[in-house]
Chains A and B, each alone.
Chain A
Amino acid sequence: MEYALDAVDITKKYGDYTALNKVNISVPKGSVFGLLGPNGAGKTSLIRIINQITIPDTGMVKLHGQPLAPHHIADIGYMPEERGLYKSMKVGEQCIYLAQLKGLSKSEAKSRLHYWFNRLDMEGWWNKKLQELSKGMAQKVQFIVTVLHQPSLLIFDEPFSGFDPVNANLIKDEILKLRDDGATIIFSTHRMESVEEMCDHIALIHKSNLVLEGRLNDVKQHFRDRKYAVSLICSNQEESFSRIPDHFQPMKLQLSGLDNTLDFQIRIPESVEVPQALHTLTQLGELTHFSEVIPSVNDIFIQTVDQHG
């Protein structure tokens, strides 16, 4: 597989504190890569290293196979979690300035900005000062500043915070479109449902260490633990539930749809074949639903973090 970004053995210390401990991450080209971890795990440190804002103590970062060099900044777009723009500067002027810092020419920046302003319904903002815009509007400007120089690697830190659902969706679609156009996206967030929706790869950093990395489906495959959701129609729910074998570790769900329906989860032990378990369940009532419970990213996150203390 071709990788857009390789981080090899990255260690970063601040005085006595280790922010990153021998972290290895490979981001496949054209993927949306979810960088996850609790607060203070070291995500921002890693992102800053990729952006060459700070230098790792050991290890190296490769962009498209080449060791990271100053000229690569033009090929990376970064939207920090804490958004910031000059408050008293006009929107257009500011975007041109930031684009020029990324290496675009003034005229090129201008024409691209007009394209984006048009696309995101922002015409008429050009001569407004940033402090006149609402938070959501400022976020849109920030998004454009991040993508304007058409970098091949985009890093979004909590890209949806501050957006209303309509605009969040708009931005989500824009991000996915950028990926379809060939960009690679690194995506750091605490909103697990958007990871579920958008990411095809994830990495989890916990207490400065990489504890999980891989294709989202592979990770989920790994975390499958023979958990199944079952619905039965039966006359006496309590009685039927008590008849479920104990080694299935039955767990009743409260959100029953119908009065005569019993919804519960079981975990089928290794020693029991699934068809066999299915057979046992049919003895208890009329089986209307039987499906494997695929662990959510949320579950995986919590489980992994708990496991590593």
Chain B
Amino acid sequence: MDKLWLIIKREYLNKVRNRTFIVMTFVSPLIFVAVALLIGWLTSMNSDEARKIAILDMTGQDYAALFQSNERNEYIPLEQVSEEAAIEASKQADYYGLLVLEAGPLGLKRMSFYSDDSPSSGFLESVENRINKKATDNRLIYEGIDLDVLNKSRVNEELQLQKFTGEKTSKVSGWVKIAAGGAAGYLLMMFIIIYGNMTMRSVIEEKTNRIIEIIVSSVQPIYLMVGKITGTSLAGITQFLIWIVVGIILMGVSTVFFGVDAFQNPVNAEAMMQAQDASKIQLIANDIAQLPLLKLVGCFLIYFIGGYFLYASIYTAIGAAVDNETDTQQFMLPVILPLMLAIYVGFFSVMDNPHGTVAVIFSYIPLTSPIVMLMRIPFGDIAWWEIATSMLLLYLSIIGVAYLAAKIYRIGILMYGKKTSWKELYKWLKY
């Protein structure tokens, strides 16, 4: 046991003292923020230049007035020409699009939008809504209905989302949950792949520089394997905890600097206008606060350790079976495949219905459960027994997989020069 502790300590210090680890831990959150800012900036750059959109209004009801040019779109009303001529002219002028409104007996008969691009559905919807509203109003007037009366009697109550417990949530709450679950699942996958690979490389290193013979003449291979996996996982947990602490500090800092500004000094008119939005933002903040964050972090750690041990066992077996890193390719697919599958199940099935059959089944299968269950948790009301069962299955399967991996490991580390095949691995299992 003392020796296991020694090995864990060495592996841990070896990883944590490594320059790459230090850089990864402290620089990657910065890179993450920088990339997010960069994407935001690029997006705003992207829509800098106004798109030119021609409008051919053949109804004579001045629909073009609905469209005021702004910094994103420049609207160009066309004089009375034929539709064909308008298309030709728009093409010649290299306009982004052409909106054609055809007159009918009741005013508007048809509207078409010509564009070689595919406009966003948001844009199309807003165009539709504006025209339809004016067309509807026109018809109502035509039918002799007083619009003022109609508008006054229109009820526009918003649905207040609430839980049975009485907590208010926003309509965007679903998105917050998807983001939280997706981030947790994705992070877990990255951790498993990064730290699994690290373990594998360390096995290959020991094998290629032959220190393995000295170590296994001092301790049993299983100790080295378990010690290596444990030490590396502790390094991973260290990194995760550092990120959490850094995240909390950053959040605190940002509330102090931006939070106060946004809510207490609504200096300009725009901010006043957004006062209503502010309450929405508060609701979202509420949503985030209402996420089972502690549960999420706790489960993340437990699932990370479990998932990592499961995959790291496989990674160490692969590392032991090969002589150098390039030979690992042929064994990588079965490792990456379940992880990818878990992510896809998470992003499609879980987000669609966190209690659907597929989502539930995959949150029990050990190879996918860490990621899938983690993505289900933000959606709430996953019973404790469900999580406990999934964890139990995961940890039980670790014992089985680690046992098989250890068999391959203890033979593989002493085999040199021969390129290992699947058949060979199967034979080692039976030694």
Residue among B7, B206, B214, B427 having the largest count of chain A Cβ atoms under 10 Å: B214
Taking CB as reference atom, which chain A residue is nearest B430?
A: A15
Choose the segment among B67-75, B215-223, B325-333 that binds chain A (4+ C-beta atoms closer than 8 Å). Answer: B215-223
Whether A52 touches B6, Cβ cut-off 8 Å, given contacts A15-B427, A84-B211, A85-B209, is no
Cα of A101 to Cα of B206 in the assembled complex, Å: 16
CB interface residues, B 189-225, toward A, < 8 Å: 205-206, 209-220
Q: Indicate if the CB atoms of B213 and A78 lie closer than 8 Å.
A: yes
Query: A95 to nearest B CB, angstroms?
Result: 11
Hey, which bits of chain A sit against chain B, CB under 8 A?
Answer: 14-15, 48, 51-54, 70, 73, 76, 78, 80, 82-89, 97-98, 100-102, 145
Whether A53 touches B217, Cβ cut-off 8 Å, given contacts A89-B14, A97-B6, A101-B6, is yes
Query: A151 to nearest B CB, angstroms?
Result: 11
Cα of A151 to Cα of B214 in the assembled complex, Å: 14
Q: Indicate if the CB atoms of A80 and B214 lie closer than 8 Å.
A: yes
Q: Indicate if the CB atoms of A53 and B209 lie closer than 8 Å.
A: no
Q: Indicate if the CB atoms of A85 and B414 lie closer than 8 Å.
A: no
Query: A153 to nearest B CB, angstroms?
Result: 12
Taking CB as reference atom, which chain B residue is nearest A102?
A: B218
Q: Indicate if the CB atoms of B219 and A101 lie closer than 8 Å.
A: yes
Hey, which bits of chain B sit against chain A, CB under 8 A?
Answer: 3, 6-7, 10, 14, 205-206, 209-220, 414, 427, 431
Q: List 30 A-B contacts (CB under 8 A).
A: A15-B427, A48-B414, A51-B217, A52-B217, A53-B216, A70-B220, A73-B219, A78-B217, A80-B210, A82-B210, A82-B213, A83-B210, A84-B206, A84-B209, A84-B212, A84-B213, A85-B214, A86-B14, A86-B211, A87-B209, A89-B14, A97-B6, A97-B10, A98-B214, A98-B215, A101-B3, A101-B6, A101-B215, A101-B218, A102-B218
Given A53-B213, A80-B214, A97-B10, 16 further pairs, Cβ under 8 A: A48-B213, A48-B414, A53-B217, A53-B414, A70-B220, A73-B217, A78-B213, A78-B214, A80-B213, A82-B210, A84-B206, A86-B209, A87-B205, A87-B209, A101-B3, A102-B218
Q: Which residues of B contact A102 (CB under 8 A)?
A: 218
- A contact face: mostly helix, strand, loop, or mixed: loop
Query: A26 to nearest B CB, angstroms?
Result: 21
Q: Indicate if the CB atoms of B218 and A73 lie closer than 8 Å.
A: yes
Taking CB as reference atom, which chain B residue is nearest A101?
A: B218
Query: A54 to nearest B CB, angstroms?
Result: 7
Of the candidates A54, A76, A89, A98, the one whose C-beta lies within 8 Å of that of B414 is A54
Q: Which residues of B contact A89 (CB under 8 A)?
A: 14
Cα of A70 to Cα of B391 in the assembled complex, Å: 35
Query: B127 to nearest A CB, angstroms?
Result: 63
Q: Which residues of B contact A87 (CB under 8 A)?
A: 205, 209
Cα of A198 to Cα of B215 in the assembled complex, Å: 28
Number of A-B contacts (CB under 8 A): 59
Q: Indicate if the CB atoms of B218 and A84 lie closer than 8 Å.
A: no
Cα of A78 to Cα of B213 in the assembled complex, Å: 9
Q: Indicate if the CB atoms of B427 and A145 lie closer than 8 Å.
A: no
Q: Which residues of A contact B209 (CB under 8 A)?
A: 84-87
Q: Which residues of A contact B219 (CB under 8 A)?
A: 73, 101
Q: Which residues of A contact B213 (CB under 8 A)?
A: 48, 53, 78, 80, 82, 84
Query: A74 to nearest B CB, angstroms?
Result: 8
Query: A244 to nearest B CB, angstroms?
Result: 52
Residue among A15, A82, A101 having the largest count of chain B Cβ atoms under 10 Å: A101
In the A-B complex, the 10 residue pairs with the closest CB atoms: A84-B210, A84-B211, A101-B218, A82-B210, A51-B217, A80-B213, A84-B209, A78-B217, A53-B216, A102-B218
Cα of A51 to Cα of B212 in the assembled complex, Å: 13
Query: A261 to nearest B CB, angstroms?
Result: 52
Cα of A82 to Cα of B416 in the assembled complex, Å: 11
Cα of A86 to Cα of B209 in the assembled complex, Å: 7
Cα of A84 to Cα of B216 in the assembled complex, Å: 12
Q: Which residues of B contact A76 (CB under 8 A)?
A: 217
Query: A148 to nearest B CB, angstroms?
Result: 12
Query: A48 to nearest B CB, angstroms?
Result: 7
Taking CB as reference atom, which chain B residue is nearest A130?
A: B209
Query: A269 to nearest B CB, angstroms?
Result: 49
Cα of A87 to Cα of B205 in the assembled complex, Å: 9
Q: Which residues of A contact B6 (CB under 8 A)?
A: 97, 100-101
Cα of A141 to Cα of B117 in the assembled complex, Å: 70
Q: Which residues of B contact A86 (CB under 8 A)?
A: 14, 206, 209, 211
Residue among A51, A86, A145 having the largest count of chain B Cβ atoms under 10 Å: A86
Query: A132 to nearest B CB, angstroms?
Result: 15
Cα of A78 to Cα of B215 in the assembled complex, Å: 10
Query: B263 to nearest A CB, angstroms?
Result: 52
Taking CB as reference atom, which chain A residue is nearest B3?
A: A101
Q: Which residues of A contact B218 (CB under 8 A)?
A: 73, 98, 101-102
Q: Which residues of B contact A80 (CB under 8 A)?
A: 210, 213-214
Cα of A70 to Cα of B214 in the assembled complex, Å: 15
Query: A93 to nearest B CB, angstroms?
Result: 9
Q: Indicate if the CB atoms of B414 and A145 lie closer than 8 Å.
A: no
Q: Which residues of A contact B210 (CB under 8 A)?
A: 80, 82-84
Cα of A28 to Cα of B118 in the assembled complex, Å: 88
Q: Which residues of A contact B7 (CB under 8 A)?
A: 101
Cα of A70 to Cα of B276 in the assembled complex, Å: 74
Taking CB as reference atom, which chain A residue is nearest B202?
A: A86
Q: Which residues of B contact A85 (CB under 8 A)?
A: 209, 211, 214
Query: A50 to nearest B CB, angstroms?
Result: 9
Query: A219 to nearest B CB, angstroms?
Result: 29
Taking CB as reference atom, which chain A residue is nearest B10?
A: A97
Q: Which residues of B contact A73 (CB under 8 A)?
A: 217-219
Cα of A304 to Cα of B150 in the assembled complex, Å: 114
Query: B224 to nearest A CB, angstroms?
Result: 9
Q: Which residues of B contact A53 (CB under 8 A)?
A: 213, 216-217, 414
Cα of A24 to Cα of B64 in the assembled complex, Å: 103
Taking CB as reference atom, which chain B residue is nearest A100?
A: B6
Cα of A85 to Cα of B209 in the assembled complex, Å: 7
Cα of A100 to Cα of B214 in the assembled complex, Å: 12
Query: A94 to nearest B CB, angstroms?
Result: 9
Taking CB as reference atom, which chain B residue is nearest A86?
A: B211
Query: A91 to nearest B CB, angstroms?
Result: 13
Q: Indicate if the CB atoms of A84 and B214 lie closer than 8 Å.
A: yes
Q: Which residues of A contact B220 (CB under 8 A)?
A: 70
Q: Which residues of B contact A48 (CB under 8 A)?
A: 213, 414
Query: A86 to nearest B CB, angstroms?
Result: 6
